[in-house]
Amino acid sequence: MEMRYQEADHERATPDAIRALQLARVRVLLAAVSATNGFYRDHWRAAGVGDVAEIDSLEAFAARIPTVGKADFLADQEAAPPFGRRHEHARSQGVALYVSTTSGTSGQGQEVHVQTQAEWDAMGRVYRFLHRWAGLDPGDGLALALPLTMLGGGRLEYQGAVSYGLSVYPVGNYDAARKLEVIRRFQPAGVMGITAYLGRLGSELDGIPAEGVRAILTGGEGAGVEWLRRLEETWQATVYDRYGSSQAGNDHMFTCEHGIGTSERPGVLHNVDPYVLTEVVDPATGAHVAPGEVGELVVTILYRHDTPIVRCRMGDRAVYRPGGSCRCGRPFMGVEVASIGRADDMRKIKGVNVWPQAVDDVVFEHEAVAEYQVVLSSGGGGNDVATLRAMPTAALGAEEHAALVQTLTRAVEQRIGIRFDVELVEPGAIPQSDWKARRWLDRRDHIVGAGSAPRSEGAA
Ligand SMILES: [Zn+2]
């Protein structure tokens, strides 16, 4: 396979050389932030860090510098509204600021994130890896199916594509029909959006692939490998996945030439190590997990000196893959494709931990299923009842109906380890989501706090 390097010297370095580069950049970052940012300086002092010059290894960095997260950002904004003390330095510079908020209709629980022009430019360099690895060339067209709003997601992708030299078609604010009209007319090489929405848009193709489209750029939410494979069939194009967040202010993990892989051997989302330091830690102990283990992502943006993000807990979990573990041989660390989920998306059902992506993978292996929902409810004896409501692509005869129910029941029990009641619903009965996939309804009343809060973080 032909390698598509964006920064060949970094992509062909050894993992040790990359770690050394990260340490050098961490030390410059710590010195700059400590000198200019009262929010972080106080946060670190409270954790017993006096002089950041003492941090002389990435291990010391992880062990001594405390994490930050949503609660810290909200408290900071409340104390110094609306931007918070952490943005004072950036605001004093007299330069254009890129201000975004996370989702929510009021100021309640809504994080404010800012970047300066210099940071915005550096963010563009990170996005170039995505487009290069996906086989797009400067001058190619990209249909961007994300609306431009106060959320980070949308504007970040727009800037990233422009930075690489793509001709962007910003169709995100149109309805699906108009989006496809633009795509069929201008034939961009790539289409970028939120994973579930790209499925919904694909279903409007009516089986006629959009000419010229060769790369589908998914992301913004977790999805199983089978669901991503299905997108490739629908669009007759290769899927490249990405991971990022509003907090990071970019996408910084991307699949390489090898793409999403298979359920048996998922591909790797490679972190762009020279610009972003990503740790995968055990949420209970804070220790880095071993290769193949699941942990929470903790992110440090190495180029953000004006509006720092230093050891930010993302609330996302994923399976860790060290540098050099993908067939491409890149030295960058990464996580397994389709292993990313919100730490709070995991459901405990009948005593078993169940990740939504695992159910995605089982269900979407069956081509007859167009969409599904899982309803969790309480049985008479205060036990969990899990019902899988599957929607076939077309109406089924009685025999096919019974066969599909039986197949799904067995497949779920085998792979998830617990029994779900399977029901089939009429085609059209389950709306295909326009935005994030919302496939789980938790109506259990015998477990306090079982119902998950609706989640619609404006992930990049
Ligand atoms: Zn790779």
3-state secondary structure 108-157: CCCCEEEEEHHHHHHHHHHHHHHHHHCCCCCCCEEEECCCCCCCHHHHHH
In the numeric block, the tokens 């199983």 are attached to 224
Distance 260 CA to ligand 1 centre (A): 10
d(CA 318, ligand 1 centre) in Å: 17
Residue 355 predicted with pLDDT over 90:
no
User: Is pLDDT at 444 greater than 60 in this prediction?
Assistant: yes
- What spacing in Å lies between the alpha carbon of 317 and ligand 1's midpoint? 20
pLDDT digits (tens, 9 = 90+) for 108-145: 688 999 999 999 999 999 999 999 999 999 999 999 99
What pLDDT shows up at residue 433?
59
Show the CA angle centred on residue 251, arms to residues 248 and 254, nearest 5°: 135
What is the pLDDT confidence band of residue 383, given thresholds at 50, 70 and 90? Answer: confident
**Residue 344: its pLDDT value, please?**
67
Query: Tokens 């299923």 correspond to what residue?
Result: 369
Residue 451 is predicted with a pLDDT of 39
Cα(108) to ligand 1 centroid in Å equals: 40
Q: Is the pLDDT of residue 437 over 70?
A: no
Burial class (CB in 10 A: 0-12, 13-18, 19+), 338: buried
Going from the Cα of 323 to the center of ligand 1, the distance in angstroms, rounded, reads 9
Parallel, antiparallel, or unpaired for β 190-192 and 341-342? unpaired
Query: Out of 171-180, 302-311, 421-430, which region has the weakest mean confidence (pLDDT)?
Result: 421-430
Q: Which of 149-163, 172-186, 275-289, 380-394 has the lowest mean pLDDT?
A: 380-394
> How far does the centroid of ligand 1 lie from the alpha carbon of residue 327, in Å?
6
Which position has the higher pLDDT, 146 or 364? 146
Q: What is the pLDDT of residues 330-346, one digit of tens each?
A: 999 999 998 887 766 77
Q: Does position 455 have pLDDT exceeding 60, yes or no?
A: no
Percent of the chain at pLDDT above 90?
Answer: 74
Confidence of residue 284 (pLDDT cuts 50, 70, 90): confident
Whole-number Å distance, alpha carbon 3 to ligand 1 midpoint, is: 10
Q: Is residue 223 very low, low, confident or very high in pLDDT (cuts 50, 70, 90)?
A: confident
Query: From the CA of 214, how far away is ligand 1's center (Å)?
Result: 19
CA 8 – ligand 1 centroid, Å:
14
Q: Are 126 and 244 in contact (CB under 8 A)?
A: no
Is it the case that residue 287 has pLDDT exceeding 80? yes
Six token digits for residue 339: 């292993």
Out of 97-111, 160-174, 179-193, 330-344, pick the least confident.
Answer: 97-111
* Between 348 and 30, residue with greater pLDDT: 30
Ion ligand 1 residue ranges (Cβ < 5 Å): 256, 326, 328
**Span 171-195, average pLDDT:** 97
Ligand 1 midpoint to CA 138 (Å): 22
275 CA distance to ligand 1 centroid (A)?
A: 17
Give the position of tokens 């292996």: 365
**Mean local confidence (pLDDT), 89-102:** 95
Find out whether 231 and 239 touch, Cβ atoms under 8 Å.
yes
Say which range, 154-168, 254-268, 425-439, has the weakest mean pLDDT: 425-439
How many angstroms does the Cα of residue 233 sit away from the middle of ligand 1?
22
Query: How many Cα atoms occupy the beta-carbon half-sphere of 454 within 13 Å?
Result: 7
For residue 135, what pLDDT is reported? 98
State the amino acid at position 341 in one-letter form.
G
Ligand 1 mean position to 271 CA, how many Å? 10
Contact 261, 267 (CB under 8 A): yes
The b/e string for 397-420 (b: 16+ C-beta within 10 A; e otherwise) is eeeeeeebbeebeebbeeebeeeb
pLDDT at 438: 72
Helix (H, G, I), strand (E, B) or coil at 377: strand
pLDDT grade for 31, boundaries at 50, 70 and 90: very high
- pTM (predicted TM-score): 0.83
Residues 196-221: what's their mean pLDDT?
Answer: 93
Judge residue 132's burial from the number of C-beta atoms within 10 Å of its C-beta, 0-12 exposed, 13-18 middle, 19 or more buried: buried
Ligand 1 centroid distance, CA of 259 (Å): 8
Q: How far is the CA of 113 from the centre of ligand 1 (A)?
A: 31
Mean pLDDT (the chain) is: 91
Confidence of residue 221 (pLDDT cuts 50, 70, 90): confident
For residue 335, how far is its CA from the centre of ligand 1 (angstroms)?
11
The answer to whether residue 222 scores a pLDDT higher than 80 is no
